[in-house]
Structure 1
Amino acid sequence: MSVDLLNIARTGIQASQAQLGVTSNNIANANTEGYNRQVATQASTESQRYGNNFYGTGTYVSDVKRVYNEFAARELRIGQTSMSAAETSYSKLSELDQIYSQIGKMVPENLNNFFASINSVADLPNDLGIRSSSISSAEQIANSINQMQSQLDGQVKQTNSQIESITTRINEISKELGSINLELMKSQGQDSQVLDKQDALILELSQYAQVNVIPLDTGAKSIMLGGSVMLVSGEVSMSMGISTGDPYPNEPRINASIGDKTLNIDPSKLGGQLGALFSFRDDTLLPASTELGQLALGIADTFNEMQSKGFDLNGAVGSDMFRDINDPLMASGRVGSHSTNAGTAAMSVNIDDVGALSGGSYELSYTLATNSYQLTDTQTGKVSPLVLSGSQLTGGAGFSINIDSGAIADGDKFEIRPTAGAATGLKVIMTDPKGIAAAGPTLTSASTNIGNTAVSLNSMDSTATGFQAGSSITFKLDTTLNTYEAFNSAGTSLGPSAAYTGNNINAFGMDFDITGSGTSNSFTFDLAFAEGNNSNAVEMAKLSDVKLMNNGTGTLTSVFENTKLDIGSQTKSAEVRVGSATAIYQQASTRVQSESGVNLDEEAANLLRFQQSYQAAARIMTTAQTIFDTLLSSVR
């Protein structure tokens, strides 16, 4: 029996030593990030029969396992993805909100200052100093919009850079996970240290995108991103990459490739930091940029149009104050052609009515079978048919599309951004303070007019044939027959009676709209310049409160302020999401720690218990040795 006692003592000492080793390792790694505590499982060795009885032969450590709950780990990954997405959105939106609060505040301030300067011109229309100050105010508003657009462009570049950095890190993790899978397939997934490293990498990966983990029979794990992209399958790793934006190069896309095969990824399905960055760029930055362009177009078009309604200090019809809204430098970037298009069509967009613009973007598509062109609002999904007249497509909200060259093929698509490039291209081109058209023509209705017909001047063109510079021109209207005839100051007809369509007449350099009805009504435009005339400057100053934008629902200032308020609202919502997502993550983290984390109090108790077990087993060995020595002494 002494031999049995020695063996039992030996197994007890070995088992206790193993338990002490596992416990000590847990204590040593209590602060190691991603460490899962380990537990040694003991079992009894097979008993032996002596006579009619069975006697135990000792114990052994049957297994050393890491404490791991896949369900809790999955909850933690989901919580990590949501929290990372919320934090990224809040960080980017907060930065943009600060830009609008600090730099952006100059836009409405300078616009108000410009209106104030126009009002000063109206008070003293002949004062060149005030006129010069007004041009300086116009330059300030143009510069502030240029600067604001530069800030937005900088945010786009910064966001693209962050996306590229994250994809680089994802590729590094992908390669590491592939190598780890190879190790696990060799050990059949038994190496706890390798498994901890794998889980830590997967948890880090879940910051960047949604992660789905698929355990394999080989001990390895396949990793999917966003539920659709297999990033790692066994030891094979896929590579993430960035490709040039299509149709706009400065808006790169993300793809995944393995070998010679490349797959474009829908960023909206990725989640995490990547999904948040793409969403911020495409759903916040780009709309903010197009809305700023809408404001730039509104300012340029409004004041250029007002200039064409009046006379400058030299008595000439006013020229443009700002760069023309359809100038190539203002129109760059309005059309993006997809690389998959089979046709050769080159297109441009012409702004026809700034007030009808929404500041949004559209998709233009062509179907050969029906020979139809459709315009789809990318925000609302509303589809509008377009009409092709010659080489021009009409039917857009405030704009038309020109097919400048080439031909469209079946299925070709184009992205239309009518307001793109305007904020960068806005510039004051007037240098002579005398050029401000403060004076306006005088409109007189004939005393014999019957009915409620009224006219409103849109613009004048002094280069048009028949324009009565320095004199007057009278239009006799018949709104029943939709005809008109024009006469000079001497009463001589400038041409036979002509028809007009709609409610607009554009003839002899005069463009005006008609409202109401009546027959044989006459209206006279006095086109003679008079010193001190300020009627057009007064009308300019009034435009600060006129709802010119978004189909008559907003002022020039409100276009910018609405964008600012929307960004502020998004920032506040993102802050709330951060709080909620963080709470969910902390709850999941606490659950994981309660199961897999090291509890030093518990491990200290285990250390004492296994130490006592070790000492007791050693005591058995000492007892066995004493018995053996006594037995030898008795037979000497």
Structure 2
Amino acid sequence: MAVDLLNIARTGVQAAQSQLAVTSNNITNANTEGYNRQVASQSSLDSQFVGGNFYGTGTYVTDVKRIYNDYAVKELRIGQTAVSAAETRYTKASELDQLFSSAGQAVPQGLNDLYSSLNSLADLPSDLGLRANVLSQAEQLASSMSQMQTSLDGQMQQTNDEITAITERINAISSEIANINNELMKSTGENAQLLDAQDRLIKELSEYAQVNVVALDTGAKSVMLGGSVMLVSGEIAMSLSTTQGDPFPNDIKMQASSGSTSNRSGNSINVDIASLGGTLGALADFRDETLTPATLELGQMALGISDAFNSAQAQGIDLNGELGQNMFTDINASQMAFGRVGALSSNTGTANLSVNIEDAAALTGAEYALVFTSPSGYSLTDVASGATSTLTLNGNTLEGANGFSIGIDSGALASGDTFMLRPTAGAASGFAVVMSSPAAIASSTPKITPDDRNSGDTTLTLTSIDDTSTPGFPVTGAELTFSIDPTANTFEVFDVDGVSLGAATTYTPPSISAYGFSFDIESTATSSERFIFDLSQSSGDNTNALQMAALSELSLMNGGKDTLTDVYEKTKLAIGSETKTAEVGVTAADAIYAQAYARVQSTSGVNLDEEAANLMRYQQAYSASAKIMTVATEIFDTLYNSLR
């Protein structure tokens, strides 16, 4: 029995030593990220039947298990995805909110300063210094608008760079998980270290996107992103890549393919980044739902300012006695129109389209999808609201949109062709002052007076003052009266005394040119209409300057609902509200994540107090087993000596 006693003691020492090793490993890894507590399972050796009784033969460690709760870990991954998305959304919204609330305030302030300078000019309309100040304020406004657009473009580039960087990291993670899966498939037992490393990578992956995990019997795990993209299948890793957006290059898109990123032919699938969740989904959502609309609304404001001031200029006479010219870039100039139309790469037609702004007041800063289904079927859909309207083809122009028309400049459309339209895109970048001379500010207003007996069905628009030195040019005291017959397309002119200056003359609608100036006429009248013209320039006339200053109070935008400044302020308020909502979202997501983390830690985490108690218990067991070995040795020696 002494020999049996020694063997029992030996198994006890070995088992206690194993327990001490596992406990020590737990203690030393208490602060190791992703470490799962391990437990050594211990069992008795088979008993021996001796002298009519069964005697125990010792103990052994049957297994070292990794304490792991799959449901708790899945909950933690979901919480990690939510908190990463919330934090990203809040961070990006805060950056944009800060931009609109600080540096971006130069835009509305610049517009207010321009209004103020026009009010000053109205006091002394012939003062060249005050006129120069108006141009200076206009240039400052244009500079502020350009800087704001540059900042928004920078945020767009930064967001795309973040998406690309995360994509590259996901590819690295997928390769590492595939390698770990391969090692686990080859191992004969549970390799806790590899499994911990596997879980750490999957947890990191859950920061970037929603993760679905399928565990295999071998310990390997297949991983899906967003519930639709198979990233890792056993030891095979997929790869993600980013490419230029379609149809707008800055809206970068993502593809998934098997093998290396260079081998994407024939087996690539497009991935909806926004649907992935996590940081990636939040970045794409911020870019598409917040940053792009903010950019389009800034462009809407630029178009509104340009259209309002240029239209006001066209209604006045400058210091040189000429009809006012544009102060800012024309709303349909190439600089302002860049990026309004994008054709999908899947289109089979050859058509090239353009967008022409017809009424800046009717614009909303929205994005539209134009789909061609038949020669009479042009469907225009507001992407945000889903509202759909049918356009009418008039020649080569599609009409019926809100504030703009669509020109088919060349080529032909094929059934199913789709175009994305952003009517206000690029406007802030192209917004600039085109007026160079302070004297060109049209502070005076030409006096065109309709006769009291007119029908009211005629609209007259002065289009140019061609030559003020032309004999008979209408000035104060020498006004001209035009009698216009819109049914016969003729006009007759009378001097200030009512004397006819010649027989009736034919004209080609809608333009009439005579006596050094030109104007357009639109009329549904059935009898002659009379207008008195006085186109003299008065240095003290401030009428048009006052009208331009009064633009600050007019609701010119969004269908007559908002002033020019309101467009910016509403965008800023919307971003501020989104930022506050995102902040609340972070708090809620953090609370849910903390609960999930506590649950995982209660199961798999290392409790140092518990491990310290185990350390003492196994140390005592080790000492006791060692004492048994000493006793067994002493018994053997006593027996041996008694037989000598």
Q: Does TM, scored on the shorter chain, surpass 0.5? A: yes
Residue 423 (structure 1) aligns with? 428
Alignment of 1:466-481 (within 5 A): 470=474
More off after superposition, 353-362 vs 246-255: 246-255
Using structure 2 for the length normalisation, give the TM-score: 0.92
Q: Please tell me whether the aligned partners of residues 195 and 219 of structure 2 are also in contact (alpha carbons under 8 angstroms).
A: no
Structure-1 separation of matches of 2:580 and 2:511: 50
Alignment of 1:309-348 (within 5 A): 309-348=315-354
Pick aligned residue for 1:276 from 263, 278, 282: 282
Q: Does 1:354 align with 2:357?
A: no
Residue 262 (structure 2) aligns with? none
Q: Does 1:265 align with 2:268?
A: no
Q: Please tell me whether the aligned partners of residues 473 and 487 of structure 1 are also in contact (alpha carbons under 8 angstroms).
A: no
Alignment of 1:1-80 (within 5 A): 1-80=1-80
Deviation at 1:422, TM superposition (A): 0.8
User: 1:575-614 CA deviation, whole Å, 9 max, x = no partner?
Assistant: 1111111111111111111111111110000000001111
Q: Does 1:592 align with 2:600?
A: yes
User: Structure 2 counterpart of 1:203, which letter?
Assistant: K
Q: Please tell me whether the aligned partners of residues 131 and 434 of structure 1 are also in contact (alpha carbons under 8 angstroms).
A: yes
Q: Please tell me whether the aligned partners of residues 391 and 403 of structure 1 are also in contact (alpha carbons under 8 angstroms).
A: yes
Q: 1:483 to 1:155 in 2, by over 3 A?
A: farther
Q: Does 1:174 align with 2:143?
A: no
Q: Please tell me whether the aligned partners of residues 474 and 480 of structure 2 are also in contact (alpha carbons under 8 angstroms).
A: no
User: 1:84-104 CA deviation, whole Å, 9 max, x = no partner?
Assistant: 111111111111111112211
Deviation at 1:443, TM superposition (A): 3.9
Aligned length: 624
**SS of corresponding position for 1:552:** coil
Q: Please tell me whether the aligned partners of residues 387 and 394 of structure 1 are also in contact (alpha carbons under 8 angstroms).
A: yes
Q: Please tell me whether the aligned partners of residues 474 and 533 of structure 2 are also in contact (alpha carbons under 8 angstroms).
A: no
Q: 1:483 to 1:158 in 2, by over 3 A?
A: farther
Q: Any gaps of 5 or more consecutive residues in structure 2?
A: 260-264
User: Structure 2 counterpart of 1:426, which letter?
Assistant: F
Residue 502 (structure 1) aligns with? none
More off after superposition, 489-498 vs 566-575: 489-498
Identity %: 56
**SS of corresponding position for 1:461:** strand
**SS of corresponding position for 1:318:** coil
Q: Please tell me whether the aligned partners of residues 174 and 239 of structure 1 are also in contact (alpha carbons under 8 angstroms).
A: yes
User: 1:286-340 CA deviation, whole Å, 9 max, x = no partner?
Assistant: 1111111111111111111111111111111111111111111111111111111
Q: Please tell me whether the aligned partners of residues 376 and 393 of structure 2 are also in contact (alpha carbons under 8 angstroms).
A: no
Residue 461 (structure 1) aligns with? 464
Residue 628 (structure 2) aligns with? 620
Structure-1 separation of matches of 2:484 and 2:577: 52
Q: 1:444 to 1:137 in 2, by over 3 A?
A: same
Structure-2 separation of matches of 1:615 and 1:275: 58
Structure-1 separation of matches of 2:618 and 2:544: 97
Q: 1:116 to 1:241 in 2, by over 3 A?
A: same
Deviation at 1:110, TM superposition (A): 0.8
User: Structure 2 counterpart of 1:616, which letter?
Assistant: A
Deviation at 1:226, TM superposition (A): 0.6
Deviation at 1:627, TM superposition (A): 2.3
User: 1:218-237 CA deviation, whole Å, 9 max, x = no partner?
Assistant: 32100111110000001100
Structure-2 separation of matches of 1:507 and 1:2: 130
**SS of corresponding position for 2:391:** strand
Structure-1 separation of matches of 2:214 and 2:31: 28
Deviation at 1:146, TM superposition (A): 0.7
User: 1:199-226 CA deviation, whole Å, 9 max, x = no partner?
Assistant: 0111111111111111012321001111
Alignment of 1:131-146 (within 5 A): 131-146=131-146
Q: 1:59 to 1:189 in 2, by over 3 A?
A: closer
Deviation at 1:457, TM superposition (A): 6.4
Q: 1:458 to 1:112 in 2, by over 3 A?
A: farther
User: 1:464-486 CA deviation, whole Å, 9 max, x = no partner?
Assistant: 9x9995355657799xx999975
Pick aligned residue for 1:544 from 533, 541, 552: 552
Deviation at 1:441, TM superposition (A): 1.8
Q: Does 1:413 align with 2:418?
A: yes
User: 1:523-548 CA deviation, whole Å, 9 max, x = no partner?
Assistant: 53433333322211111111110000
Structure-2 separation of matches of 1:476 and 1:543: 33
User: 1:50-84 CA deviation, whole Å, 9 max, x = no partner?
Assistant: 23322211111111011111111111111111111
Q: Does 1:389 align with 2:394?
A: yes
Q: Please tell me whether the aligned partners of residues 89 and 276 of structure 1 are also in contact (alpha carbons under 8 angstroms).
A: yes
Q: 1:282 to 1:473 in 2, by over 3 A?
A: farther
More off after superposition, 206-215 vs 530-539: 530-539
User: 1:133-160 CA deviation, whole Å, 9 max, x = no partner?
Assistant: 1111111111110110010011111111
Residue 589 (structure 2) aligns with? 581
Alignment of 1:625-636 (within 5 A): 625-636=633-644
Structure-1 separation of matches of 2:536 and 2:189: 94
Q: Please tell me whether the aligned partners of residues 243 and 252 of structure 2 are also in contact (alpha carbons under 8 angstroms).
A: yes
Q: 1:53 to 1:391 in 2, by over 3 A?
A: same
Alignment of 1:133-212 (within 5 A): 133-187=133-187, 190-212=190-212
Q: Please tell me whether the aligned partners of residues 392 and 401 of structure 1 are also in contact (alpha carbons under 8 angstroms).
A: yes
Structure-1 separation of matches of 2:69 and 2:165: 32
What do you get for the CA RMSD once the two structures are aligned? 2.6
Deviation at 1:458, TM superposition (A): 5.7
Structure-2 separation of matches of 1:78 and 1:459: 66
**SS of corresponding position for 1:88:** helix
Q: Any gaps of 5 or more consecutive residues in structure 1?
A: 500-504
Deviation at 1:635, TM superposition (A): 3.4
Alignment of 1:356-375 (within 5 A): 356-368=362-374, 371-375=376-380
Q: Please tell me whether the aligned partners of residues 6 and 620 of structure 1 are also in contact (alpha carbons under 8 angstroms).
A: yes
User: 1:490-540 CA deviation, whole Å, 9 max, x = no partner?
Assistant: 3657657999xxxxx87664457899x998775534333333222111111
Structure-1 separation of matches of 2:504 and 2:68: 94
Q: Please tell me whether the aligned partners of residues 22 and 38 of structure 1 are also in contact (alpha carbons under 8 angstroms).
A: yes
Q: Does 1:124 align with 2:130?
A: no
